[in-house]
Amino acid sequence: MDKTVKIQIKNIPVSPYKTRLVADLVRNMEVEKALDTLNFLNKKAAVHMKKALVSAIASAKQILGVEAKGLKIAKLTVGEGVKRPGVRFESRGRATRLITRRSHINLELKAK
C-alpha cells in the first residue's frame, strides 16, 4: 500500500503564474521546512499554500497515522481555475475587459 495523501484546493483568488512561483520554492521539501519557508514568504499565494499544506498534514495524521516529521511533499502542481470576466472603466466613457484569474492547488504528501 502506497502511503500518500492527496489534497486539492480549488478557486484560490491568485493567478496561477503567481501561485507557481511559490510552489516552485517548496516543491520536494520536507513538510516542516516548507512550513517555515511559507511563514516568512511575503506573497499572497503563500498564505493559501500554507493552508493547503496544514490541511494535508491533518489528513495524513488522520488517514495514515503519521506525524508531520515523517512527511515530504511528493507532488505539487498548480492548475488554472475559473476565469471571471469583468469591466474596468476608463476615460472618455470607454470600458476595457478585465479578466480575473484563479488557480487550483494539487498537493500530494508521502510518508518517508
Distance of CA 65 to the CA centre of its chain: 23
Res 1: pLDDT: 53
Contact 108, 5 (CB under 8 A): yes
7-11-16-20 Cα dihedral, nearest 10 degrees:
-30
C-alpha cell at 64: 495514515
All 3 cell numbers of residue 66? 503519521
Instruction: Enter the pTM of the model.
Output: 0.87
Residue 65's pLDDT band, with cuts at 50, 70 and 90, is confident
Q: Identify the domain containing residue 69 by its residue range.
A: 4-111
Give the CATH number for residue 65: 3.90.470.10
pLDDT class of 33 with cuts at 50, 70, 90:
very high
